[in-house]
Amino acid sequence: MASNLPLPIPPRTPTPPADDDQHASTINSGMPISRDSLSPLKASFPKGVMDMESRDRLSPTKASFGLGTSPVQNGSGDNPAGPFNFDTAVMAKSPVVKSNIGQRRGHKYKHSSISHQIFLEPPPRAPLALPNSLPIPTLKECRSSMSKDQKTRFWWSLCHMSIAAYTLWTAHGSLAMTSLSHLILFDSLGALLCVAVDVLSNFEVWKRSSIRHPFGLERAEVLAGFAMAVLLLFMGLDLISHNLQHFLEKSGHEPHRPHEHDRVSLGSVDVTAVLAISSTLVSAIGLKNHARIGKAMRFGYIQSLPSVLSNPSHFLTLSCSALLLLLPLVSIRIYDWLDKLLSGTIAFSMCFLGMRLVKTLGSMLLMSYSGPGVSDVLKDIEADPSVIGIDDARFWQVHYGLCMANLKLRVGGTEDNLLRLREKITSLVRNRLGGGYGGGGQKWEVSLQFTIERT
C-alpha cells in the first residue's frame, strides 16, 4: 500500500531574469530610458552645461570666475571680483578686555536648567553671635592689668610659699612637722592659683564664650586644680613611705642615711606651728583659698563647722598645726609616739583628700556631675502627675561655678500644667543640687524638652 503513494516533487529553484537591455531600461511605468542620455561624452548631452566657457566660469582659479552670476553689492555699491565679500578691518592697539558674558567655563550644576529644581540656594543665615576666638592675654598684659589689691594678694601668696619652705627647713626634728610643710606647700599653691584666676578674670576671654572655648577659660582653673590634687596625692604617698622607712629603722634594720629628730624644748611655743596657723587663716579669709574646691567637695562631717573649718584643706592644716602646738607640753616618750601617729594620720588624710579631689575634678573635666542628690531629684520629678516618663536625664558640671541639667520628658496635660511643671523642675534642681537661692552653691542651667502624649 505504501508503494502506491506518489513521490513528492522537490521545489523548483528560481532562475534569474534574462539580461535584456530593453527590459533593464524600463521602469515600472514602462517608459524607456536611455543610458547615454546623461553622459557628457554623447551628443545627446545638453549643450552649454559643460562647455569650455562654463567650465572656466565655474573654476575659482580662472579670471572669469563669478561672471554671469548674480552680483552681491557691498557697502560702496561696487560689484566684487569674487564670491566673498570681506571688508578690511583694522585691529585696535588697546588691550582686549576679556568678557565672560555669554560664556560658560565648565559645567555648573546649580546653573543648569534641570538642577534648578534640585540644588536650591541655602537661605541666608545671620552671623553667629559667638566669635571664633578671643585673644589670650600674655604675661606682660596680665602684669599691666593687675590692680593694687591683686598685687598685694600676689605678694602674699609668695610669702605663704616662703613659709612653706621655712617649715620644711625646720622640720628635721619632727615627722609631723614635715607632713605639715607639705600641707602648707599645697595651700600656698592654691593661694597663687586664686591670684592667677583673679587676674585672668580682668579679660574678656575668661568668662565670655567663643567657638574655640565654649565656656571661656574657666575650665583652665579646673585643670590646674586637678594637677594640684595629683601633687597632693603623691606627697601623701611620699610621707607614707617615709614613715615606713622610719618604722623599719626602729625595728633593727640598718638605715640608708641617719635620721635624727631634735625635739622642741618642754614648755616652749613652736613658732613654726604659729606661722602655719596664721598664714593659713590669712589665705583662707583674705584670698578665699580653696573656696571653689570646698564647694565642689562636700564632706558631711565638717560641713556644719564655720566657713574656714568646713573646707577640708583648711581643716587639715589648722588641726595639724594646733596639735603641734600641744606636743611640747607632753613628755619625751609620749611626744615620740604622738609625732609618728600624727605624721601617719596627716599622710593618710592627704592621700584620701587627694583621691577625692582627683575623682571630683576628673569627672568635671569629663563633663559629668559627681555630687549627691541626683537620684532624689529624679524621683521627685517622676512623682509629678503630669510626668508620664523620663526618656533621658543628663547632669554635668562644666567648672566650679556652672552646672547643667538636660531632661527629656514624656508629659501630658494642658499648657498651664506644662508651664507649672517647667518652673517646678527648674526650681527643684536649683534648690536640691545648687544649695538654693543665696546658698553660695553652683549655678545650674536647666533645659527641658517635653514630648506631649495625648490620652
What predicted TM-score, i.e. pTM, was given to this entire model? 0.64
CATH 3.30.70.1350 spans which residues of the chain? 374-452
Task: Order across the sheet with 387-399: list the strands.
Answer: 387-399, 402-411, 443-452
* HSE of 327, CA atoms in CB hemisphere, 13 A: 30
Q: What is the mean pLDDT of residues 47-55?
A: 53
- Mean model confidence pLDDT for the chain: 75
User: With 60 as the cut, is the pLDDT of residue 214 above it?
Assistant: yes
66 vs 159, higher pLDDT: 159
Nearest CA to 195 among 175, 172, 164, 224? 224
- Cα 450 from Cα 388, distance rounded (Å): 10
pLDDT digits 0-9 by tens, 130-141: 778 788 888 899
**Helix, coil or strand: residue 391:** strand
pLDDT digits 0-9 by tens, 102-120: 555 555 555 555 545 566 6
pLDDT digits 0-9 by tens, 261-276: 454 555 556 788 888 8
Instruction: Label residue 315 by pLDDT band (50, 70, 90).
Output: confident
Cβ neighbours, 10 Å, residue 154:
20
Q: State the cell numbers at 18.
A: 534574462
Query: What proportion of the chain, given as a percentage, has pLDDT over 70?
Result: 64
Superfamily designation of domain 374-452: Cation efflux protein, cytoplasmic domain (3.30.70.1350)
Q: 3-state DSSP: the chain helix, strand, coil percent, rounded to 5?
A: 45, 10, 45
Is the domain 139-254+261-365 a CATH 3.40.50 member? no
CATH 1.20.1510 spans which residues of the chain? 139-254+261-365
Instruction: Label residue 402 by pLDDT band (50, 70, 90).
Output: confident
What pLDDT shows up at residue 162? 92
